[in-house]
Structure 1
Amino acid sequence: MWKILCGIVVLVTIVVNQLAEARGVRRRRGHTLQLDNYLSYDGIMQYLDELALSHSSRVTLKDVGRTYENRALKMAMITNGDGRPGKRVIFLDAALHSREWMTPAAALLTIHKLVVEFAENSDLLTDYDWHIMPLANPDGYEYSRNTERYWRNTRTPNGGNCFGTNLNRNFAVDWNVGFPELKDPCDENYAGSSPFSEVEARTVRDIMHSLVESKRAVMYLSLHTANRSVFYPWVYDTAPVSNQKEHDEIGRFVADRIFRSTGTFIKTWQYAKFAGTFGGTSMDYALVAGFPLSFVFEMSGTGRDHVEYKFFPPATDIRHLAEESWTGIKAFAEKTIEKYPPSRVISYKPKVKLLENAAPRNWGLSSMAGTVCLLFIYLT
């Protein structure tokens, strides 16, 4: 009898150790960010899911919406794990324009730096949380990767064999004002059938409103390529914003940090004075929604060989350009935290109200089943 019991104990020990080792392998796998090629939508989602499981005390992954083609819009909410509620937030999104493939790579590297390389970047999370949407237009992104490389918009049908809306023209600040192509449902600048006609734009809007209403919003940062610029509002108007000097100072700080690090020259502009006025941008909307700071970071698309590849740098340049972009993103954060410490009172005065056409959420069985299955795989 004792021999049998001892055998069972030994067998259980072996099985437990093997499970623990397998779990450790999966934890380590979640730490690895693949930047030697452009990740697919599924690859991005898998990395986020694994990272959230392996660092559950500091990363919460939230399903914030569903696209026309039923892909998840996910946001990584990152903290330092100290449990202190109500911290101020930096909200970052990427790939509103689907052909800008480098932006999800830079957003994922930012998540990686804040989570996996937390020890080196903990100062960015002491008094701030980060909310990051690394893929804000997954339908368009997959269509760009697999069918029509230069595709820029969503994939919602507009009738007449025309598809897609430009998300960065779909926000309710001077919507549909600026140039004729905004009204053309077959043009890549099409602003949509109405403000916030697109679930992706409504999702970004709702996140903005939630952060302002909870008095946590500080900086909105939208990643684009490949103009090598820091833009700040307004786009719809040439008049300066009330805190233009502050925006300009932060932009120049970012540009200087990147130039000192890599030699890449980054311009700093109020957008309307750079390329004229038009409406519907997320950057302008964030400011009228109540964010004190709002920027677009147009990342570089220039390879190590000094060739300007714009939206599609070779795979061998992904890591280099993502690291350069992280240098800029980190500089944005450092200067924002310096300018807006917890001791500085922010007077939130949004000029818009949350509209009733809130983005649909999917908290149903499909999402739950996916989470349960992933958890089962992770533990076994």
Structure 2
Amino acid sequence: MSQTITVKIKLLPTKEQALTLTEMSHTYISTINDLIAEMVKENKSTKKSSKNIDASLPSALKNQAIKDAKSVFKKAKKSKFKVVPVLKKPMCIWNNQNYSFNFTHISLPIMIDGKAKKTPIRALLVDKDNRNFDLLKHKLGTLRITKKSDKWIAQISVTIPTVQGTGVKVMGVDLGLKVPAVAVTDDEKVRFFGNGRQNKFKKRKFRSDRKALGKKKKLNAIRNSKNKEQRWMEDQDHKISRAIVNFAKENKISVIRLEQLANIRQTTRTSRKNEKNLHSWSFYRLSQFIEYKANLEGIKVEYVNPAYTSQTCPKCSERNKAQDRRYKCTCGFEKHRDIIGAMNIRYAPVIGGNSQSA
């Protein structure tokens, strides 16, 4: 078994390299759009090769542009041209035969003085915990370079072999706002993850700052604030998901069970003051981070039906509504209500079946 993930790397090009990458990115996208328009007009896939493309791009990028254009045309034709996408975001894509790296630079062909020349571009390939370093030792795929918030980012697809565990130890994880995540193992070990109060405070602070910027009509500053908030939220999800998977490893868990997220915004317990947080927090992203990090460790992730997981007593199966943060059943069983949710998620019906026994 294998899993493909994307590793993001910050690039530090020189001013000349940044200018070249900017020009190439716009040319690359316009070349794809021109090819798509030609194919739609003729109602057939192009037979052009890189020699037929009149654009200031290395032949590797021309070939990739043809490949991308054919892919878009194929999808448009399948929909009977109801929608013909027009690509807008500037970028360049190289296949894995046309770039290399040495953990300080990424070398790839770019246009210099009208000719393609393989050029090293400085890159921050190693993050704080060396995860990028370890991931990039595996099979590499395409390299995509884009500019985001005045920063150049390289995205490399990496295919990593995974070995599924053979055990049957199960852990339930309940996601929420006041407590971002609670995990309970099948031998009743409990761990809380994240800080809901801190998260809400940070998000209120971001909104307050943008409100003040709005009164001053500083639109660029507002956009920068939104980007900063998204980066902060994504970083929180990375930290929480890593901690959850580490907790699973420590307890030799082979299966992590999560709620199916289709209706989480309707089922998550919230109040009017938390409504803005609920609709801006990415439960889906956190669950995806948990899944891909768990799979890399050979831990399977299953999704369960979340119905009544926070109301059903794990001891007698009677349904009760929690009072504030405490759940108390008539049979005498009493716990934090998020722990109740995680306990029940361990044994809830798995969506699509094929579950491990708990």
TM-score range, shorter chain: under 0.3
Structure with larger Rg:
2
TM-score scaled by structure 2? 0.27
TM-score scaled by structure 1? 0.25
